[in-house]
Structure 1
Amino acid sequence: MGEPPPYPQIEPTTFDLIAVGTGLAECIVAAAASASGKTVLHLDTNPFYGSHYSSLSVPELTSFLISNSTASSPPSSTSTTTDIPDYSIVNLTTQPVYSDVEISCFYPELLEENLRKFNLDLCGPRVLFCADKSIDLMLKSGASNYVEFKSIDASFVGDENGKLWNVPDSRAAIFKDKSLTLMEKNQLMRFFKLVQGHLDATVAAGSSGNDGIGNGNDEEEGKTKISDEDLERPFVEYLSKMRLPPKIRSIILYAIAMADYDQDDMGVCQNLLKTKDGIDRLALYQSSVGRFTNASGALIYPIYGQGELPQAFSRRSAVKGCIHVLRMPVTALLMEKDSGSYKGVRLASGQDIFSQKLVLDPSFTLASPSASPSDLLHESFNFLSTRDVKGKVARGICITRNSLKPDTSNLLVVYPPRSLYPEQITSIRALQISGNLAVCPLGMFVLYLSALCDDAIQGKRLLNAAMNALLTFPDSVNSESSSTVQSENTEEKPSVIWSGLYIQEMSTVLHGQFDSINFAPMPDGNLNYNDILDAALKLFQEMYPNEEKFPETTPPENSEDDIELTLET
């Protein structure tokens, strides 16, 4: 008997949509298209789901980072099953989306014993707010049936002395917080009450059909609603206007509203938060606290890691007939010679598959088109060969033997700008996840760190500063920055078993000239997925403007119960 072919033949050969790459955005688009009755083929070169949003073992993550840090071409087609003289073959290649990958192992024997017991997130740190868009979308789409969550136990703000201060994010938390003075508690309570009053007044105005300014019949509404002038001013200015002290302003801006850049420095702040946006972020945080009875705080995390989310949407699309094929590289695009329009893809098997629409993993780009292409093909080629890169994010992963807080397993730490060293212009976020979330062996912990940056030097300095504030490295690998911050309890800091640092490019959705070829976005620097979801749903709507997103799975009134939030007993 002859050897079986290396790649399976796919039947049928024509689809409404082909998605290449199983990142979160591609999986959402594929699931939405499948729910709308479209025929969908979902391909991925990798042997796992998730692409740049996956959760991987230590060897898999190391291999993925290294392989995606250099430009490469997919394997050549083994054969050509169809001869299509009217089409131009445009070869695909991949661009590096990771750089400056730095892997360190300090206890090889200990790591070797548990090497494949880790599910490490490529796009961490990442959480979901209990009331954010991703939860609503999972409920509406039915993807919530395929993923479980646990609550993040607590959030902290770190300072230059190595201390971690509780984030008082609710009335009960404010009363219990021993680090706040009575005056600070009163100030924070008054501000949260003001925000809630504004939100209530806005909802009341919207339900009554007026413009939200107040009609003179409700004096209380006029007192509680924040003025339009204040809503348009920088949030940091409004907090100062409310006479909140620097400590409280910092907590609100960076640990609750999750601002990235130093809001006090207009010269370096690349994203100045307006009051209206800050209030929206506070509203999301406050509405997340207590939404689910078995989630203690505002934040939750999926059991087995963030890679469960793209898989949940993939399972949803499979139920609706989507065909998934892993380990299947796409080597080229089929472009019509006369019009330059997209027609299909060529697989590494040599098979040609046709579709009306195409969504590509963000690492793909086009190699040179075939000889003497049409002007239209050249124009499309030039557009599709340029990615819209929107900066960089430095990411770090550390495996430790102890928790940052002895009595807390899963926690978030935020270092506001300037909190670790004077040149720190962005927030640094660190998320600790424990073995009770099935991402590592029991008794170990995974710490994810991230910070927006302009280049690798700046990014690595940001991560090293936070790591030295939180952790102990056996060989003092980060001693060059350890003088920046010293903990009062250095001997109590967790010891690092393994670490990985890398710089990731961020890119947004790109649309093809003929609205047929589209690129999915890379993971952004945010803590949640809201912007990525917005991009994915906008992409779907532009591709299929007459289709409703997940029309047949409207959640019931008690839809919150559909998400299982399993808490540690």
Structure 2
Amino acid sequence: MAERRPSTSYSPSVIPPLAGLEKPQDQYLKIDNCDVLILGTGLQESVLAAALSWQGTSVLHIDNKQYYGDSSSTLTIDQLKKWCADVNQNKIPHFQDAQIYIPGGKLNNQYKSKDYGIDLTPKIMFCQSDLLSLLVKSRVYRYLEFQSLSNFHVFENDDFQQKINSTTKEDIFIDKSLSLKTKRYLMKFLKFILLDPDYKQKIKPYATQPVQKFLRDEFKLEDPQINELVFSIGLSYKEQINTKEAFIKIKRFLSSFDVYGKFPCMVSKYGGPGELAQGFCRSAAVAGTTYKLNTSLIDFDPELKIAHFNDGSHIKINEKVVISPTQMPKFLQSSYNQATENLQPHYVTRLITVVRRDCKEWMSSNESSAIVVFPPHSLPTNNEYSVQVIIQNGGTGLCPEGQSIWFSQTVEQDLNRAKSDLESAYSKMELSLLRESCNNIDGILDETDFVMSAQGTPVLANSFKLGSHLQNFVPKETVEIVCKVGYIEQTFVASDLSNIFKPTSKNNIVLKDIPDAKNEIIFTNMPSAELSYDGIITDVKSIYQQITGTTDDFFDVDFEDEEDEYDRVNQPDIQQKTTSSSVAGGIVGGGSGTNLAALRESRNGNMSENAIDTDEEDMEDSHEPFGAETMEL
């Protein structure tokens, strides 16, 4: 992201000479040794660098690119062109089949490359998560800006019937698309998962069975509501997800509601993982990490522990060398192949489309992002896995006003079918967007199809009536495309993160012994298909423990008093919506929240447990969102 504007004007008051993020060493390394060498400035590697540096470990952090972020980068369109060319020339391992399409070329398309920031691995952050806790504890949030995200849509072909329109009690009651009986069943389920102290015991007989069976048998829910719970707010990929795993994911969403306000998620402005990676790099630089871009490791002697670089310099490594797979030195490729030959590869196919529409139809008032999910078998391609889409418009700083970026992905392992699923989802979104923006609805709706919101504005309640009328809608136009990018990522992280939360030397590259490396080299994992940041801190801690032997002192730092004063005085509030709205097929929230400093003080700096750990104990959560104690019918 070197070409794009920074997300904040604040700079640390003290940055060690030649070690800062803004001025990485540009010619020859001026150090002769370090404790840990890290290759790649992706999110995991950047968190690791900061964690080690704050514990007094000397770190040299390099990247073979001209920008920070590695596989987590946020790129301009011109940078993305170069990245696609490098992928197709096999210069960037673990990525393949990169294609970029710019209708009419740059001259006819009239775009400015620097106005766009395109995440290679986009993610959202649940308000109740270990990464957010670490951002607060480490003060890295000072370098970032956050925005609320509350709209989660489920699209099933052209069917807008029987959708859960909100996770709040009030909006469930005014949703005319739901019968009174369905509303009662939904409220019963919400009370069960949030308030019943014995719910873990009650789901045990169903723990390994499909969650759909449990929801039908115990709560009489129908497929539309089940799909919303499992695939939209639960963000599950597969149809046959067991009850235990599904409940952890659903509760992750519900317990994140009302932490900052009436929304469950946040996104970082100006970029996702790439922006967070830069924040942790800044923190590491303050703690003494040395940075150098455009630098590659060309040789390492595990006996003498001497590392040689492409600029002719060399240094001694006292402890470990940590390597991102996309920064793989040629001399280690054979060893890496041997270490990973028994690991199960997982493919994530992504399609990113920049369109000249702000897509506010899918977003809550004063928000700039939304989630769209196509459950299994909801597309004309009969998709076996859900297609997940993050939509972000100009309000996020990723593109100009009046435009938006659609980040879509699937874990379908048949790569040709995966591409077909993504294209089909794009077509459905385009059609839906054109229908939503169609203003010729005179005679379709009457005053009984609207209700008044708390702010006194009319809100569409009968989306089924409108949706049914528009099922045969044929658009007279198309959505104008600025840029379209597709590529495939290979990772050894399972889509359910099982080998992150329960890693072994047989299923996780971090714990593998690298041939001929004498236990001196650690490879990191590629980003997972998980749409949230869950699992990242757990993954980093595994690497940290490999280096230090413990995780007890992971970011266990007493920051100076002036840092606390900065937090109290200068920390901005999260940008969030101030009014609630109703969107067909979406889950909507509203209200005000608190800033990150307030949350940090309320938690006394303690990190939360990982949001989707598969242990039963982690399903316990004392947080009760959206007035759960008053959810009586």
The answer to whether TM tops 0.5 is yes
Alignment counterpart, residue 258 of structure 2, candidates 277, 290, 296: 290
5 Å matches for 1:522-561?
Answer: 522-547=526-551, 548-553=553-558
Alignment partner of 1:302 is 2:268: yes
What is the CA–CA distance in structure 1 between the aligned matches of 2:253 and 2:99, rounded to whole Å?
A: 34
SS of structure 2 residue aligned to 1:398: strand
How far apart are 1:170 and its partner, in Å? 3.4
In structure 2, stretches of 5+ residues that fail to align are 1-24, 433-469, 494-508, 579-633
What residue is the counterpart of 2:480 in the other structure? 495
1:442–1:23 distance in 2 versus 1, CA, 3 Å: same
C-alpha separation in 2, matches of 1:285 and 1:497: 33
* Deviation (angstroms), 1:545: 1.9
Retained in 1: the 8 A contact 2:127–2:257? yes
User: Are the equivalent residues in 1 in contact too, given 2:358–2:401 (CA < 8 A)?
Assistant: no
How far did 1:515 drift? 3.9
Over residues 197-253 of structure 1, what are the superposed CA-to-partner deviations in whole Å (9 max), with x where a residue is unaligned?
A: 23xx2xxxxxxxxxxxxxxxxxxx5x8952533334432332222222111111111
SS in structure 1 at match of 2:136: helix
Match of 2:215 in 1: 239
Compared CA separation, residues 323 and 173, structure 1 to 2 (3 A): farther
- 2:142 alignment partner in structure 1: 145
Matches within 5 A, 1:387-402: 388=343, 390-402=345-357
**Do the aligned residues in 2 keep the contact of 1:46 with 1:326 (CA within 8 Å)?**
yes
Mapped to 2, the partners of 1:369 and 1:528 lie a distance apart of 31
Q: How far did 1:24 drift? A: 0.6
Compared with structure 1, are the counterparts of its residues 553 and 517 closer, same or farther at alpha carbon in structure 2 (3 Å cutoff)? same
Q: 1:358 aligns with which of 318, 321, 331?
A: 321
Q: Which residue of 2 aligns with 1:460?
A: 419
Distance 2:99 2:346 in 1: 20
- 1:230 correspondence with 2:192: no
Aligned to 2:100, the other structure's residue is in SS state: strand
Q: CA separation of 1:494/1:9 partners in 2, compared to 1, >3 Å: closer, same or farther?
A: same
TM-score (norm 1): 0.78
Secondary structure in 1 matching 2:305: strand
Which structure features the higher share of strand residues? Answer: 1
Partners of 1:110 and 1:445 in 2: how far apart? Answer: 19
Aligned match of 1:423: 382
Structure 1 residues without counterparts, runs of 5 or longer: 1-5, 73-93, 202-220, 264-272, 337-341, 371-377, 474-484
Question: What is the distance in 2 between the residues matched to 1:157 and 1:414?
Answer: 5
Q: Deviations over 1:285-320 (max 9, x none)?
A: 112111113xx4212111101121101111111111
- Give yes or no for contact 1:239–1:249 (8 Å, CA) kept in 2: yes
Contact 1:99 1:502 in 2 (8 A): yes
Deviation at 1:427, TM superposition (A): 0.5
1:498: Cα distance to partner? 1.7
Residue 12 of structure 1 pairs with residue 31 of structure 2: yes
Query: Is residue 2:578 matched to residue 1:566?
Result: no
> Structure 1 495/187 Cα, relative in aligned 2: closer, same or farther at 3 Å?
farther
* TM-superposed deviation, 1:175: 2.9
The one-letter code sitting in structure 1 at the alignment partner of 2:132 is I
Structure 1 residue 405 displacement after superposition? 4.6
Return the alpha-carbon distance in structure 2 between the equivalents of residues 563 and 383 of structure 1.
48
User: Once the 2 structures are TM-superposed, how far is the Cα of residue 438 of structure 1 from its aligned partner?
Assistant: 0.5
**1:332 paired residue number:** 299
User: In the superposition, relative to structure 1, how do residues 344 and 44 fare at CA in structure 2: closer, same or farther (>3 Å)?
Assistant: same
The percentage of counterpart residues that share the same residue type is 23
- Aligned ranges for residues 114-125 of structure 1 at < 5 Å? 114-124=112-122
AA partner of residue 503 (structure 1): I
What secondary structure, in the 3-state scheme, does the structure 1 residue paired with 2:411 have?
strand
Q: 1:488 Cα deviation (Å)? A: 3.0
The 5 A counterparts of 1:111-190 are 111-124=109-122, 126-161=123-158, 168-190=166-188
Larger deviation, residues 171-180 vs 445-454: 171-180
How far has the Cα of 1:455 moved from its partner?
3.6
Between stretches 166-175 and 420-429, larger displacement belongs to 166-175
Q: How far off its partner does 1:118 sit?
A: 0.2
| 2:212 partner SS | helix
Q: Does 1:413 align with 2:372?
A: yes
Query: Given the superposition, is the C-alpha separation of residues 413 and 23 from structure 1 closer, same or farther in structure 2, using an over 3 Å criterion?
Result: same
Question: Which residue, 233, 246, 251 being the options, matches 1:278?
Answer: 246
**TM-score normalised over the length of structure 2:** 0.70
* Aligned twin of 1:313: 280
Q: 2:95 is matched with which residue?
A: 98
Pick aligned residue for 2:190 from 179, 189, 192: 192
Distance 1:303 1:381 in 2: 36
Shift of 1:366: 5.6
- The count of corresponding residues between Structure 1 and Structure 2 is 482
RMSD across aligned C-alpha pairs, in angstroms?
Answer: 3.1
CA distance in 1, matches of 2:90, 2:349: 20
Corresponding residue for 1:89? Answer: none
The CA distance in 1 between the partners of 2:362 and 2:431, in whole Å, is: 19
Change (3 A) 1:469 1:345: same
Secondary structure of the 1:113 match is: coil
Distance change in 2, residues 1:387/1:50 (3 Å):
farther
Could you report, residue by residue, the CA deviation over 1:390-419 in whole angstroms, capped at 9, with x for unpaired residues?
Answer: 311111111111144537342110000000
Q: State how far apart, in whole Å, the 2-side matches of 1:67 and 1:151 are.
A: 35
- CA distance in 1: counterparts of 2:339 and 2:190, whole angstroms: 47
Say whether the 8 Å CA contact 2:381–2:420 is kept in structure 1. Answer: no
1:506 matched residue in structure 2:
491
SS in 2 for 1:49: coil
Going from structure 1 to structure 2, the CA distance change for 1:501 and 1:412 (only over 3 Å counts) comes to same
2:525 pairs with 1:521: yes
| 1:59 matched residue in structure 2 | 78
The answer to whether the Cα contact below 8 Å between 1:157 and 1:251 also exists between their aligned partners in 2 is yes
Residue 176 of structure 1 and its aligned partner are, at CA, apart by: 4.2
Question: Contact 1:470 / 1:494 at 8 angstroms: preserved in 2?
Answer: no
**1:470 counterpart = 2:429:** yes
Q: Secondary structure at the match of 1:565?
A: coil
Summarize the Cα distance change of 1:486–1:52 in structure 2 as closer, same or farther, 3 Å threshold.
Answer: farther
Contact 1:404 1:493 in 2 (8 A): no
3-state DSSP class of the match of 1:71? coil
Q: What secondary structure, in the 3-state scheme, does the structure 1 residue paired with 2:307 have?
A: strand
Distance 1:10 1:468, change over 3 A: same
Deviation at 1:161, TM superposition (A): 1.5
Instruction: Give the Cα separation in 2 of the matches to 1:407 and 1:486.
Output: 18
Residue equivalent to 1:439: 398
Q: Is the 8 A contact 1:53 1:121 kept in 2?
A: yes
* Contact map agreement 2:359 2:393 (CA 8 A) in 1: no
Say which SS state the counterpart of residue 312 (structure 1) adopts: helix
